[in-house]
Amino acid sequence: MRKIAAILVLAIIGAFIFMLIHQSADDEATEAVTEFYSYEQEADFSASWEMFHPIMKEKFDKIDYLQDRAHVFLNHFGVETFSFTVGEATEIEDWTIENDAEVIDTVYQVPVSLGFKGKYGNFSLVQNTFATKVKGEWKILWDYKK
């Protein structure tokens, strides 16, 4: 009887440890979006660009992206950094970045609110950011549908 109880306790502990270690895809997607905006917040636009999905990298040349993001966020808005909050991920199947673009089987939509305090006052931008896995790595996309 003691052996069965010991085995049961070990099985419960093992299941608990597995659940702690194993993240859901929703959590992983949210973590990837958080990582992306942390790079953006630190003005490490090179690192954030590297997290883009290949479709996004076709939209933005790396050098242009680095210059544009710094110019818009830092120079135009007159801020040194920004705060952000990340919402809960929602799974979406058969998603496209644009109306006629290649279909991506599964993405996770993650709402992000960016808060700025700059020379034009305090303001917020809200943007749905999308994350999907490409060759085992989480990649970031934005929505361009019209």
Q: What are phi and psi of 81, to 5 degrees?
A: -160, -175
**pTM of the entire structure?**
0.82
Please determine, for residue 14, whether its predicted confidence score (pLDDT) is greater than 60: no
Please report whether residue 87 resides in a domain.
yes
Q: Which residue has the higher pLDDT, 14 or 42?
A: 42
Distance CA 85, CA 12 (A): 35
Q: What percent of the chain has pLDDT over 90?
A: 67
Please report whether residue 39 resides in a domain.
yes
Please report whether residue 18 resides in a domain.
no
Burial of 146 (0-12, 13-18, 19+ CB in 10 A): exposed
* Mean pLDDT, residues 46-63: 96
Mean pLDDT of the chain: 88
Assign 108 to helix, strand or coil.
strand
Please report whether residue 6 resides in a domain.
no
| Whether 74 contacts 119, CB under 8 Å | no
Instruction: Determine the pLDDT at residue 12.
Output: 60
Instruction: Determine the pLDDT at residue 20.
Output: 47
Q: Structural domain tally of the chain? A: 1
Distance CA 112, CA 67 (A): 22
CATH code of the domain covering residue 135: 3.10.450.100
Residue 77 pLDDT grade (very low, low, confident, very high; cuts 50, 70, 90)? confident
Name the residue range of residue 114's domain. 25-142
Distance CA 131, CA 143 (A): 11
Give the β-pairing of 137-142 and 83-86.
Answer: unpaired
* Mean pLDDT, residues 88-97: 98
Instruction: Determine the pLDDT at residue 8.
Output: 57
Please report whether residue 13 resides in a domain.
no
